[in-house]
Amino acid sequence: MILLVLLTMSIQGQVPSSLLLARDSSFRTSLAIMLAEGDAGIGSPALNRRFFDRMLWGGELKDWHTDQLLESMKEVSRAGFGASGRIHFYGMSDTLFGLSDWGMHTAVGTAWHAQAGFSRGLFEAIFKGNARHRGDTLVLDPFSGQYQSWQKFGFGLFHKKTFSSAMLSLVSGQDYRRLEVRDAGLYTSPLADSLSLHYAGEYTRSDTANRGWGAGNGIGLALDLEYNRPLATGDGFISVSLQDFGWVAWNKSTQHMTFDSLTTWEGYSTEQLFGSDGLPAIEPVDSIHTTTRSGVRWQMLPFRVQVRMMKYIARSTLLDVGMTLQPGHYAVPMVQAGLSHFLSDRMLVTGRLGIGGYGTFSAGAECQWMPGGRWLIRAGTHNVAGWINEDARSMDAYFSLACFFNRNS
């Protein structure tokens, strides 16, 4: 069982700040802007990068490491993993509805999102075993895990001066899984000669006959909104955005299973061990009750709401604060604050401190550069420690590349 699943990025999900605040605004005379973005990350307040590395890429989990994680782990914790990629096209020269300040905005993208909430007892049973719980029941619940992947094809409009936008997207659902265990426990007899495992819950999975990227196991709609407003003092912006607000109808081959089971293993008897017939196989005694139904199931996408403010506090320095709310996620609200500084008219560097999300405290860095006024390159991370310290609780990276198609090109 994998105990990792999605970290949704925070501030870079909105339009790059260089498009709002850059001193070199020559890009606004472009015919069009093409923006490609990508991000990926993983995090948990209970697990660290060393654990994620061993689980994803292989390697030995040392006893001291799992002991360390278990000692600091709360009774119920969370973890998340995710990645996404998008390509945006902004038409700077076209006019919509007779309004010269408004243009066409189209985008295509793909995303993978997963998350898990798990108990301390489940982690102990998987990675430390049940030896310390003879004559007792190790509580394994609650456990809840969810995974979704999808592709989006969107069309909308945007305001050329503020890059406020509205977009409606057709969503093609690729894969959906959800496991909810409400009651589970593992009993070990005092002599450790028998085990009894009980578990109850439900499991949903999309069509298993059609797999892979772009599988099209569901169809839906999603709304993306972004509102960027200059501050009344004219020295910054405030931004509010809503991303991936929508649903997917997973097709009629989607299966939903409920289960309520008890499985008991009895150890070998002396006669079985030393008899002439050899060593027999242990056959568990099951009392399994399951119900399976197939049919269309509607599932909401993991949407998020973001608020950000950037305000000049000196000639070349801005205060940069923001918050990300993720309803329906196991992540807590993420709050970030930092400073951005223009090293030149075309280069902006940012340092941020944050807390929340799927991880804990983090310190990030970002750089935006507009070489020649023709390109925009942005790269950053929310947690620098994730790249240099195996004890860090999160690791992520994001990247953007924009091309400005000028009239004389």
- Give the amino acid at 326: Q
Residue 126's Cα: distance from chain center in Å? 24
Residues 378, 402: Cα–Cα separation, whole Å: 9
pLDDT of residue 287: 64
Residue 123, SS3? helix
Q: Is 3 part of a structural domain of the chain?
A: no
pLDDT of residue 144: 94
Phi, psi for 217 (deg, rounded to 5): -85, 0
Q: Which of 31, 1, 42 is nearest to 331 (CA)?
A: 42
Residues 7, 365: Cα–Cα separation, whole Å: 17
Query: How many degrees, rounded to 5, is the angle at CA 5 between CA 301 and CA 125?
Result: 135
Residues 37, 398: Cα–Cα separation, whole Å: 8
Q: Which domain holds residue 283?
A: 11-404
Total structural domains in the chain? 1
Query: Is the separation of the CB atoms in 168 and 155 below 8 Å?
Result: yes
Q: DSSP label at 371?
A: G
pLDDT of residue 8: 33
Which two tokens mark 253? 């081959």
Residues 202, 364: Cα–Cα separation, whole Å: 39
**Tens digit of each residue's pLDDT, the chain (409 residues):** 333 333 333 334 578 888 888 777 788 888 999 999 999 999 999 999 999 999 989 989 999 999 999 999 999 999 999 899 999 999 998 777 778 899 999 999 999 999 999 999 999 999 999 989 999 999 999 999 999 999 999 999 999 999 999 999 999 999 999 999 999 999 999 988 888 999 999 999 999 888 778 778 999 999 999 999 999 998 999 999 999 999 999 999 999 999 998 888 776 554 554 555 555 555 555 666 789 999 999 999 999 999 999 999 999 999 999 999 887 667 788 999 999 999 998 999 999 999 988 878 999 999 999 998 899 999 999 999 999 999 999 999 999 999 999 855 5
Q: Is 23 part of a structural domain of the chain?
A: yes
* Single pTM value for the model: 0.86
pLDDT of residue 45: 92
Angle between helices 63-72 and 120-127 (to 10 degrees): 170
Query: Is the separation of the CB atoms in 110 and 213 below 8 Å?
Result: yes
pLDDT of residue 377: 96
Query: Is the separation of the CB atoms in 160 and 102 below 8 Å?
Result: yes
393 Cβ contact partners less than 8 Å away, ≥ 6 residues apart: 43, 44, 45, 47, 48, 49, 359, 360
The dihedral sign for the CA sequence 95, 97, 99, 101: negative
Integer-rounded Cα radius of gyration of the chain: 26
Residues in the chain: 409
Phi, psi for 219 (deg, rounded to 5): -140, 145
Which two tokens mark 373? 């006024």
pLDDT of residue 10: 38
Q: Is 1 part of a structural domain of the chain?
A: no
Residues 23, 238: Cα–Cα separation, whole Å: 18
pLDDT of residue 12: 47
Q: Is 409 part of a structural domain of the chain?
A: no
Q: Is 22 part of a structural domain of the chain?
A: yes
